[in-house]
Amino acid sequence: MGEIFGVLAAVLSSGLGGTSIGATRYLVGSVDPLAIGSFRFGIGCLLLLPLTWLRGDRRPGRGDWAATIGLGILFFALFPILFNASLIFTTAARGALALSTLPLLTLVIGAALGTEALSWRKSIGVVVATLGVAVALLTDLGWRHQAPGAAIS
């Protein structure tokens, strides 16, 4: 059941992510990208931090603090701010398509760090999916007529 649960969690996560991208695209016209990221992750922190204290989860050791802080800044500050800002200049659909290059980046970085075993099957699947994303991003699928003024250029 472990792998099935993982796939179902990923599907739910993708659904929530798509909803989040659509909502973010709606907000970027009236709210600053930094504020959107601050609210999103600030509220998440306020909700999750008490749960970690109640559960007594293990904190990172002193030797891991720099890496933990670096990852936190990268994934909970730099990434969302840049992504939120990108939605000012494109549609939610194109922003989500660009975000779907993550499997390729994850596979490459995981292999480079030795945390993800490369296989022909994974590699071919990720490359085919990424090529599909590239084709969708490089073609005009009628979204230009729905894009904000700055996104059309």
Question: ∠ CA 12-9-75 to the nearest 5 degrees?
Answer: 85
| Burial class of residue 89 (count of CB atoms within 10 Å of its CB; 0-12, 13-18, 19+) | middle
Six-digit token pair at 30? 């009236």
pLDDT score, position 102: 80
- Reported residue count of the chain is 153
DSSP secondary-structure letter at 57? P
pLDDT score, position 140: 61
Decide: 137 and 94 in contact? Cβ < 8 Å: yes
What residue ranges of the chain have pLDDT lower than 50?
Answer: 152-153
Secondary structure of residue 110 in the 3-state scheme: helix
Alpha carbons 153 and 145: distance in angstroms, whole number: 11
pLDDT score, position 70: 92
Start-to-end Cα distance in the chain: 48
pLDDT score, position 1: 65
